[in-house]
Amino acid sequence: MGPEEREEAARRLLDLTREMLDLAKSGDWPLFAQRELRRQELSQALFATPVPREAAPVVADCIRRVLDMDQELITLADKGREEAARAMKETQKGKQAADAYRRFSR
């Protein structure tokens, strides 16, 4: 990957991270997970070999911005995981109550 390609990959990584932040804020976790897989692939390709010196300033700037957004992504993902767990627990309680009602209402 040449310097220009490396810069473009870093910019795509930044754009993808911005998109993931929007998805996390809206609670679209399935699409968020798909984008995270793509982001991992892109990160691996970007850093598979040393970054050319000519591309280093752009790549470093993009990565710094990605890392700043990652802190918010982590916070939102943790909150989303807690909300999902709580919803599953409530659903399970509702199912148990319905099962008990059916069992004892005969």
State what percent of residues in the chain have pLDDT above 70: 79
pLDDT (tens digit per residue) in 19-70:
999 999 998 888 998 999 999 999 999 999 999 999 999 999 999 999 999 9
Does residue 6 have a pLDDT over 90?
Answer: yes
Structurally, the chain folds into a number of domains equal to 1
Q: Is residue 7 part of a domain?
A: yes
88 is a domain residue: no
- The residues near 18 (Cβ < 8 Å, ≥ 6 apart) are 69
Q: Say which residues have a Cβ less than 8 Å from residue 25's Cβ, sequence separation at least 6.
A: 76
**Rounded CA separation 46/67 (Å):** 15
Mean pLDDT for 82-103 is 64
Q: Are 39 and 16 in contact (CB under 8 A)?
A: yes
Higher-confidence residue: 19 or 87?
Answer: 19
Model confidence, pTM? 0.75
Q: In this structure, what CATH number is given to the domain that contains residue 8?
A: 1.20.58.380
Domain membership of residue 26 as a residue range: 3-76
